[in-house]
Amino acid sequence: MAAPFTVTLAAGESVSALDYPAGARPAAAGTTVVPETTLVLAHGAGAPQTHPFMTAFARGLSSRGIGVVTFNFLYKERGRRAPD
């Protein structure tokens, strides 16, 4: 499950973000593999970070041992449709 957090930008503005922690990858019996990779995944111009494709992609990677962080660009946080 994704954990929400806030990223503070310049001039005191902020955007929402989601952390999809890496799941444990298979390892030799009795050991655990520590995740070493986190992908920062940005949405396209037409959809926010909560679009079903974005969330499915992030969950799929995290279930395979890759941490994922998504975020909304500022224009999406402001409710605008077009990028800056």
> 6-32: per-residue pLDDT in tens?
999 988 899 999 999 988 666 667 766
- Name residue 17's amino acid: A
Going by pLDDT thresholds of 50, 70 and 90, the confidence category of residue 33 is low
pTM of the model: 0.82
Q: Which two tokens stand for residue 12?
A: 């005191």
Contact criterion met (CB below 8 Å) for 49 and 71: yes
Distance CA 9, CA 57 (A): 26
Dihedral sign for Cα 44, 16, 55, 20, please.
positive
Name the least confident of 28-37, 50-59, 62-71.
28-37
Going by pLDDT thresholds of 50, 70 and 90, the confidence category of residue 83 is confident
Going by pLDDT thresholds of 50, 70 and 90, the confidence category of residue 76 is very high
